[in-house]
Amino acid sequence: MTRRVFRYVPFTIEQDQTAEPEYEARCVSGDDAECGARSGTHGRPEGVEEWQRKHTQDTGHRRYRRNFGDYAVMRPAEERPPERGALVYDPGTRRVGEYQATVGPYALLRPVGGGREWEADPGRIRPATQAERLSAGVKAANSRAVRRP
Ligand SMILES: [Zn+2]
């Protein structure tokens, strides 16, 4: 028997900000059969509550079933921006830098050991490997040594 091994990918779950959550209510009042009147979907709970008040005023019905729906997206953990100060590799310049922030379309990286920041494509940078970290650290130490009078 073969076992298939899947790489475990951690995801974060985020509400999709591009889609409005939906609130709705259905009147479940009635002795024999439910009334079944519906509020329709609203982007805010207040819209549903307003409909409930009006429906109760009109009919005397007092029991509702309410539903809330939203959209959620699963985001692989590696798509999250790195922590500030994390060492990342930029394939565009083939350099390792300390992640500073993402500003507009660019990720700002600072050379290890200090220096002028550069702009990288946030979609392409990735955590630096151990070898890349060491190499960047050594280069930074060398350039410091050279600069020293
Ligand atoms: Zn009703």
**pLDDT tens for the 149 residues of the chain, in order:** 556 666 666 777 778 878 889 999 999 998 888 999 999 999 999 999 999 999 999 999 999 999 999 999 887 766 677 889 999 999 999 999 999 998 878 899 999 888 999 999 887 888 898 888 888 877 777 766 665 55
Domain end residue (candidates: 29, 44, 74): 74
Give the Cα separation of 95 and 18 in Å (integer).
35
Give CA angle at 112 (115, 82), nearest 5°: 110
Give the Cα separation of 13 and 23 in Å (integer).
20
Grouping H, G, I as helix, E, B as strand and the rest as coil, residue 49 is helix
Q: Determine, yes or no, domain membership for 3.
A: no
Do 66 and 22 fall within a single domain? yes
Give the Cα separation of 56 and 3 in Å (integer).
59
Q: Determine, yes or no, domain membership for 6.
A: no
Do 65 and 85 fall within a single domain? no
Give residue 25's identity as a one-letter amino acid code: A
Domain end residue (candidates: 56, 74, 92): 74
**Structural domain boundaries enclosing 57:** 11-74
Ligand 1 center to 56 CA (angstroms): 7
Give the Cα separation of 122 and 88 in Å (integer).
10
- The whole model's pTM is what? 0.47
Ligand 1 center to 140 CA (angstroms): 73
Ligand 1 center to 87 CA (angstroms): 61
Domain end residue (candidates: 30, 54, 74): 74
What is the domain-level CATH number for residue 135? 2.30.30
